[in-house]
Amino acid sequence: MTLLVLLLALILLVWLLGWWFARGDDLTAYDHPVDPSAAERFGAADGPSAAHRQAEDDIRAKGGAVRGMSRRESLQFMRNFMEEIPAGRRFQCTFHPVDAGGVPAEWVLAPGADPRRRVLYIHGGAFIGGSANSHRTITSRYSEVANAAVLAVEYRLMPENRRRAGIEDCRAAYRWILENGPDETGAPDYLYVSGDSAGGNLSLVVSAWARDAGLRQPDAVIALSPLTDSTYSGPSIRGNLDSDAMLGPLFRALTKIPRILLTWLYVLETRFRPVDPRVSPVHGDLSRLPPTLIQVSESEMLLDDARRYVNKARAAGSPAFLQSWPGLLHVWQILNPELPEANEAFEEIGEFIQSVEATRLN
């Protein structure tokens, strides 16, 4: 009897701790549509392009190969897949490796790019994959549309390193780019921070940290399909599981795990509560932030992560904007120049940067 009571008490304690670990803001208050003045919707009347449909078919075929793999096998599969993305492409940009305050990185420079205009780019890959190389299709285009030198950061990945290590690397790179360009020292005239998926998460985290640390804030932040809530509570996490050809196959199993157990797994793996703003920027203070643009597909699991972040930031008085496309892949921007939708997204990024600079000049 005593043993049973102790066991029940232990189960209750584990449950209560799991509940506390995941206890944060009630984000359902931000599930409403974004104010029309801050939201734009794109997409052709007849749906995604033929090139996108082919890319989605290819992604779904590769996603099927993940089933039945061990965790180690699927990790290596994903890393290899990402590193092959730029294969066979020709770039007009030049790529220069650099030590960015102790963090490996590379400068990406389009012809004529202004070194006093800088973009800190943080790649995606679920915090376990990706590199400066895997995202060259994005960083090269960024250098063109922003007329800027792009610093692509090689932050430390999980599971070989703790989540905290990647955050520290992005902070170090941010401090470094405030004083260093590709060919000279000194502060940039304009500075932008951007990233996709996991890198979008880190971009938003770095932006809030720069504010709190009293550093010069970026002139703007652009996040592509960012993870903003590590409790995975957004309705689209499960609602878009089948329509998300990229993330669905990778994370379907996680959606079947009870939330308390998932919370414990997250805490044990990352050493963070999932509501900690250092891993869930939507749970932090979103006031006094620079102009922030989020692009997202309406078919992906992270749709509500984007919508909730924009709505909460705007409620806090920060200028945040949402651009969405129906039916597209998670981080479709990486498949440029093949996808017309990717080119359209970068054109919008270029226009956003121009609008930010026009406002600053006025």
Cβ-based neighbours of 246, under 8 Å, separated by 6 or more? 59, 63, 300, 329, 330, 331
The reported pLDDT for the residue numbered 67 is 72
Distance CA 252, CA 113 (A): 42
What CATH number has the domain bearing residue 56? 3.40.50.1820
pLDDT, tens digit (0-9, with 9 covering 90-100), for 272-325: 889 999 999 999 999 999 999 999 999 999 999 999 999 999 999 999 999 999
Active site residue 300: yes
pLDDT band at 251 (very low <50, low <70, confident <90, very high): confident
Domain count, the chain: 1
Residue 173 lies in a domain: yes
Report which of residues 62 and 108 the model is more confident about. 108
Average pLDDT over all residues of the chain: 91
The reported pLDDT for the residue numbered 258 is 79
Helices H / strands E in the chain, number of each:
11, 9
Residue 18 lies in a domain: no
Distance CA 284, CA 276 (A): 8
Which residue in 134, 140, 143, 197 is the catalytic one?
197
Q: Mean pLDDT, to the nearest integer, of 188-213?
A: 98
The reported pLDDT for the residue numbered 355 is 96
The reported pLDDT for the residue numbered 224 is 98
Residue 189 belongs to domain spanning: 32-361
pLDDT band at 25 (very low <50, low <70, confident <90, very high): confident
Distance CA 169, CA 182 (A): 19
Size (the chain), residues? 362
Residue 334 lies in a domain: yes
Active site residue 347: no
Which residue in 300, 341, 344, 348 is the catalytic one?
300
Q: Mean pLDDT, to the nearest integer, of 100-109?
A: 97
pLDDT band at 3 (very low <50, low <70, confident <90, very high): low
Residue 20 lies in a domain: no
Q: Is the pLDDT of residue 105 over 60?
A: yes
The reported pLDDT for the residue numbered 14 is 53
